[in-house]
C-alpha cells in the first residue's frame, strides 16, 4: 500500500537557522510529490511540487525540496527560517497508477524561536 512518512512530529528551530523537514514515501510507481503548509485556521497551501526533471525544486517563500529516488525521500529545506514560517507542513504523494488522490503524511509542526 502507498504510504508517506514524516518522522518528525514537532521541530523547533531558531529564527535565521536552517531547516530540513523529512519525508519518505513507499510507492510502487513513479510518484508525484508535494509539500503543503497549513497555518492555524487556514487551508493547505501548495509550497512546491515535483513531477519530473531536475530533482531539486524551488517553491514559494524561499523553500526548496530535493527528490532522491534511491532513498525514497523528498525533504523540504529552507536556508534561513523566519518567524512567519511557523506552521504545520505536510508531504503528499500521488501517482498515476493509483488514481488521482493524494496520500498525505502525518505532518510536522514547525516552531520558530526568536
Applying CB under 8 A, the residues found at the interface with another protein are 32, 34, 36, 41-46, 49, 51, 90, 92, 94, 96, 99-107
Do 114 and 46 form a contact (C-beta atoms < 8 A)? no
Torsion angles phi and psi, residue 46, rounded to 5 = -75, 120
Residue 28 C-beta: closest distance to another protein, Å:
17
List of residues 6+ apart from 33 with CB closer than 8 A: 23, 25, 49, 50, 65, 67, 74, 91, 92, 93
Do 89 and 110 form a contact (C-beta atoms < 8 A)? yes
Q: Which is nearer to another protein, 15 or 102 (CB)?
A: 102
Q: Which is nearer to another protein, 14 or 96 (CB)?
A: 96
Q: Which is nearer to another protein, 78 or 94 (CB)?
A: 94
Q: Which is nearer to another protein, 21 or 103 (CB)?
A: 103
Residue 101 C-beta: closest distance to another protein, Å:
4
Residue 56 C-beta: closest distance to another protein, Å:
19
Q: How many residues does the chain have?
A: 114
Amino acid at each position: 500500500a502507498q504510504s508517506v512518512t514524516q518522522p518528525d512530529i514537532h521541530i523547533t528551530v531558531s529564527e535565521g537557522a536552517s531547516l530540513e523537514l523529512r519525508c519518505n514515501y513507499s510507492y510502487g510507481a513513479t510518484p508525484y510529490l508535494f509539500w503543503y503548509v497549513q497555518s492555524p485556521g487556514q487551508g493547505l497551501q501548495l509550497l512546491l511540487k515535483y513531477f519530473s526533471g531536475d530533482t531539486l525544486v524551488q517553491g514559494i517563500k524561499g523553500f526548496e525540496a530535493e527528490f532522491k529516488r534511491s532513498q525514497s525521500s523528498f525533504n523540504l529545506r529552507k536556508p534561513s527560517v523566519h518567524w512567519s514560517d511557523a506552521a504545520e507542513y505536510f508531504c503528499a504523494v500521488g501517482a498515476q497508477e493509483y488514481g488521482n488522490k493524494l496520500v498525505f503524511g502525518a505532518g510536522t509542526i514547525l516552531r520558530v524561536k526568536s
